[in-house]
A and B are shown apart, each in its own frame.
Chain A
């Protein structure tokens, strides 16, 4: 009982199963004795796959996937181990002491006669630059995100969003030049007190760099707020501003805080901009008009300068890197904790 349409099919239908395209496709089927036999025979053709080989392949695939997945974990732990080892080497040196490192207020590793390894001036430089960056990027980024998510017509959004994303793709060395050639002269024109290299200029450039992160992640958080909440708020007689500020922002708070923390982490770790624009003199200051040096900029100075490998100033950069690592790790953990805590509450 072969369906009529079969004859027109160029390839022989060995299975005896009706081809999907044939007009009487439903009528051949397994119902008839003969096609059932054909099917059973057709299913037995070829060579059977070896069972042990299959198990082996599966195991191989599983292990290679696992290796790929653990690559990042291995890398992280290797970095931590090396940092730890080199840091211990540094503190074992006669010129260095843990007390001086943790409580000393001077960082003068290259002065010659009297070297001091007190970490605080470098931490201060990093915090100062990051604070300037955050003071600029967090409010501007959040306001832009609110505009994009709650106010902007779709046409404006279609233009603004890609431009912001271009900003995220600019190499940081370009921001460094921008700081030196535009922001610093601008600041100096604004006020004489700004040094040729200063924390404010570097901070603003870092701020521009992290702006797309703040904006894009905050906007994601805002847009994730259910439409039903907005409608509920509008139905009570809210203005657009009421809805944005009293309902949507609080509901998206966890995502926004996480975006802030991620952006600040990036600011703390930023190197090229500060190496170019902030200067090279570590000092304990809260005035952003002053020259300063961040932890990252110090490391660049060591590794690109003429410090000898294995010398005490060379080793000191590992200790600095370790502190930097602890700081960013702490922020990341806090960010994750906030995200988890609030997400649970929301569901």
Chain B
């Protein structure tokens, strides 16, 4: 069985084959690294600031994104959470006026450095967008797109990888008989799961999700949330969400942003039950925002 996980030996996550993901159970809590002892960070920001032209979108924030956990970024619109997310795989490079200062490390190497190979960075840090954006190609070709970019792979290996990725994204059973059909014929929720499958098919370590459920109906949302919980066993996930219940349901840690500043970042349970800051409390209880 092929293991499409990252080929680099330094890969921080265990190379669990896609098909063998366990469903989250109560007992799994014990398997998580102890939150207070020896937690490794996939991404860490130190004194990180960002600008669009002369507008400062993020003010000197520092936070850690622990390995194999789900970190939710919450806050009102325009608070900078998406900007922060889009720096983690340098998607902001596409905006010519965007610039950043401070450090943003992926496993200890500053990904803001000019020498960073963005192609390799984006292979290691995948992204799922707000609106499902499958390519106007077949389901198979959507999944195979990324792997074909990065490796030359035999036909049967690629077939196997596509199957594993679709299984990991809980989409295999729905599409296995129509892999050659256009991905645009899928429902919105299926398209989003396809996009997740597409992102994990290149063997990333980190998955960034920018409001992945905001364009979906409640049932599809539930399916994606379930998927996020499953994927967090193998991937480090950072999710931006406007939906506080969603943050509470899926994340291990939550960071609250307000007007370009990181107000508070802590265990999700603590953020939602006894936050340190009044602003956080007001926001999570729905008093503003």
**A214-258 vs B, Cβ < 8 Å mask (1 yes, 0 no):** 000000000000101101111111110010001100110000000
**Residue total for A at the interface (Cβ-Cβ under 8 A):** 19
Q: Among A232, A238, A242, which residue has its beta carbon within 8 angstroms of that of B133? A: A232
CB under 8 Å from chain B, chain A span 268-313: none
CB under 8 Å from chain A, chain B span 181-223: 182, 184, 195, 198-199, 202
Q: Among A232, A237, A247, A250, which residue has its beta carbon within 8 angstroms of that of B150? A: A237
Select the stretch in B124-132, B231-239, B247-255, B267-275 that faces chain A: B124-132
Chain A residues with Cβ below 8 Å from B94 are 231, 234
Do residues B126 and A246 form an inter-chain contact, with CB atoms below 8 A? no
| Chain A residues touching B, majority SS | helix
**B106-135 vs A, Cβ < 8 Å mask (1 yes, 0 no):** 000000000000111111001101010111
- Decide yes or no: A231 and B129 within 8 Å by CB, A237-B122, A345-B136, A345-B184 being known contacts: yes
Do residues B123 and A251 form an inter-chain contact, with CB atoms below 8 A? no
CB under 8 Å from chain B, chain A span 332-347: 345-346
- Decide yes or no: A231 and B91 within 8 Å by CB, A236-B199, A246-B145, A346-B184 being known contacts: yes
Question: What is the CB-to-nearest-CB distance from A177 to chain B, in angstroms, rounded to a whole number?
Answer: 43
Do residues A235 and B91 form an inter-chain contact, with CB atoms below 8 A? yes
Q: How far, in whole Å, are A238 and B134 apart by their CA atoms in the complex?
A: 15
Identify the closest chain A residue to B122 (Cβ). A237
Do residues B136 and A237 form an inter-chain contact, with CB atoms below 8 A? no
Do residues A231 and B133 form an inter-chain contact, with CB atoms below 8 A? yes
Do residues A250 and B136 form an inter-chain contact, with CB atoms below 8 A? yes
Chain B residues with Cβ below 8 Å from A247 are 135, 145
Cβ of B10 < 8 Å from any Cβ of A?
no
Do residues A236 and B133 form an inter-chain contact, with CB atoms below 8 A? no
Do residues A239 and B133 form an inter-chain contact, with CB atoms below 8 A? no
Question: What is the CB-to-nearest-CB distance from B237 to chain A, in angstroms, rounded to a whole number?
Answer: 15
Q: How far, in whole Å, are A346 and B145 apart by their CA atoms in the complex?
A: 19
Chain B residues with Cβ below 8 Å from A251 are 135-136
Question: What is the CB-to-nearest-CB distance from B83 to chain A, in angstroms, rounded to a whole number?
Answer: 14
Cβ of B19 < 8 Å from any Cβ of A?
no
Question: What is the CB-to-nearest-CB distance from B259 to chain A, in angstroms, rounded to a whole number?
Answer: 26
Do residues A232 and B135 form an inter-chain contact, with CB atoms below 8 A? yes
Do residues B89 and A235 form an inter-chain contact, with CB atoms below 8 A? yes
Chain B residues with Cβ below 8 Å from A242 are 149
Do residues A237 and B137 form an inter-chain contact, with CB atoms below 8 A? no
Chain B residues with Cβ below 8 Å from A226 are 133
9 more A-B residue pairs beyond the given contacts A234-B122, A236-B202, A237-B150, with a C-beta to C-beta distance below 8 A: A231-B94, A232-B134, A235-B91, A237-B118, A237-B119, A237-B202, A238-B149, A242-B149, A250-B135
* A-B pairs, 6 with minimum CB distance: A235-B127, A237-B123, A228-B133, A237-B122, A236-B146, A232-B133
A-B contact pairs, 5 of them (CB 8 A): A228-B131, A236-B126, A236-B149, A237-B122, A246-B145
On A, residues with C-beta under 8 Å from B are 226, 228-229, 231-239, 242, 246-247, 250-251, 345-346
